[in-house]
Structure 1
């Protein structure tokens, strides 16, 4: 994927730019240099923080499973960080699932034992996906989620790890963003005055990467064809003085 590189190349770039090395190491993870060892640990933390700080489109997955009659609790997929709202569907019934429920809402449903429920409600508790009412049929359920896996080991086609462990691991983030973030993390760990400038460079690259991540729909403030809702048009905007308090 364009912009992605191996952990070894990213570590070497950061080490040389920081002045820790004058040439690349064949395998930074085999180095006995304390500075390189610190860079390896900082790279792990940097990537894990980036996963949780933003909903990256390339780190989203889809999970489909079948409900088992009599069983209300199901394991979440490996690498699950958080669900993506409003993607939970009962595919068999072609109906959206309702939730996630708060603890208060869940207890309310538990108390309404005589109430008939047509929809399926859900909540996540720990590493479990829990549904209400208890399933009576083997319906197919699907939802999308954010994964913690951002490291693709050699020989794999997708990320399967949440921390790099080898120089050949491919990291699913923009390579320049990781180099800048790694330099900032190292300077910050050493309490060096250059950390402030390094942070600014990283934040700028992060904003640029987030702004270019995925696509967004065009939002219109005018009436759209075939849409019932009217927003701004000649019927609700005055001819003069628009925007004047």
Structure 2
């Protein structure tokens, strides 16, 4: 059912006049019904990890870029780089005089970048390595689905999301690296998904594929096949159960009007919980100490730190 049909059904069940249009209506009650439908769907998508809103995101880690440049003691600039094309503030820096966890703060011009920290040495024409360590989140990203983050190149789980405290401990402390790649979300979206260590040679392999799943904020399907986070036309269809939305509009409308709505609300909550319990199927539960019928766990997934052939 599209949103017009949903609101018409809710209005009929409440004994209200059924609208013939929503978006172009000037009727205050119709405007209110549409707003409550949007409110209910927003609440549903935020409170539950519905299968229809689950998405997979793959990050293809870029290989390092090796070049040359001039650095000077106590200067944040790297000069005389042959080309800064493709570089931006999502790249880490390594080389002579570069402190640990050095990153680009600004691309000044075609041959110069400004780093976040001052150089600790002077070197002319020294080798400089740039590695992209920060990637864009999907435009429809709302929240992560826990325990879905994996390094498909190494076949192991990513460590994270790190807290700001752990991130600073790793990037700023003595023990800066480990056998596995870590990640965290930092700064404003979308360019906010950062990995550690950066993909320099000798570190975590690159190119490589990292993957995780998330809940999309786009719960509306448009007639052209695109999705959105709000219903703005009469033909929009929510990617949520239409019967739940009808029930949600009804009790919210009665609440706004000051009528008795508790019974409607309880019926709605029971229906939501029942629907979510069956959404996407139910996983098997095992009473043994293994994590399922497959004899594989974190204890026997190769991590590259044990003797024997690779």
Instruction: Please list, as runs of the form range in 1=range in 2, the aligned pairs for 1:161-240 lying within 5 A after superposition.
Output: 161-193=228-260, 195-221=261-287
Distance change >3 Å, CA 95–CA 221, structure 1 → 2: closer
Instruction: Please list, as runs of the form range in 1=range in 2, the aligned pairs for 1:53-64 lying within 5 A after superposition.
Output: 53-64=47-58
Gaps of 5+ in 1: 229-245
Structure 2: distance between partners of 1:64 and 1:104: 26
Distance change >3 Å, CA 124–CA 207, structure 1 → 2: same
Instruction: Please list, as runs of the form range in 1=range in 2, the aligned pairs for 1:18-57 lying within 5 A after superposition.
Output: 18-21=14-17, 23-25=18-20, 27-57=21-51
Q: Which segments of structure 1 move beyond 3 Å, counting only runs of 4 or more?
A: 113-116, 222-228
Instruction: Please list, as runs of the form range in 1=range in 2, the aligned pairs for 1:78-227 lying within 5 A after superposition.
Output: 78-112=139-173, 115-125=176-186, 126-127=188-189, 128-136=192-200, 137-156=206-225, 160-193=227-260, 195-221=261-287
SS in 1 for 2:10: helix
Structure 2: distance between partners of 1:199 and 1:28: 24
SS in 1 for 2:185: strand
Task: Tell me the CA shift for residue 112 of structure 1.
Answer: 2.4
Give the conservation status (yes or no) of the 8 Å contact 2:59–2:135: no
Residue in 2 aligned with 1:17? 13
Task: Tell me the CA shift for residue 104 of structure 1.
Answer: 1.1
Gaps of 5+ in 2: 65-130, 201-205, 297-310
- Number of paired residues? 220
Structure 1: distance between partners of 2:243 and 2:222: 20
Distance change >3 Å, CA 206–CA 116, structure 1 → 2: closer
Name the TM-score, length of structure 2 as normaliser.
0.66
Name the TM-score, length of structure 1 as normaliser.
0.83
Give the conservation status (yes or no) of the 8 Å contact 1:12–1:28: no
Which structure has the highest strand share of the two?
Answer: 2
- Which has the higher relative contact order, 1 or 2, with Cα contacts under 8 A spaced 6 or more apart? 1
Task: Tell me the CA shift for residue 9 of structure 1.
Answer: 0.4
Moved more, 75-84 or 216-225: 216-225
SS in 1 for 2:11: helix
Structure 2: distance between partners of 1:176 and 1:114: 54
Structure 2: distance between partners of 1:34 and 1:109: 56
Q: Deviations over 1:34-90 (max 9, x none)?
A: 001011111111111111101112210001121233122111002111111121112
Structure 2: distance between partners of 1:72 and 1:49: 34
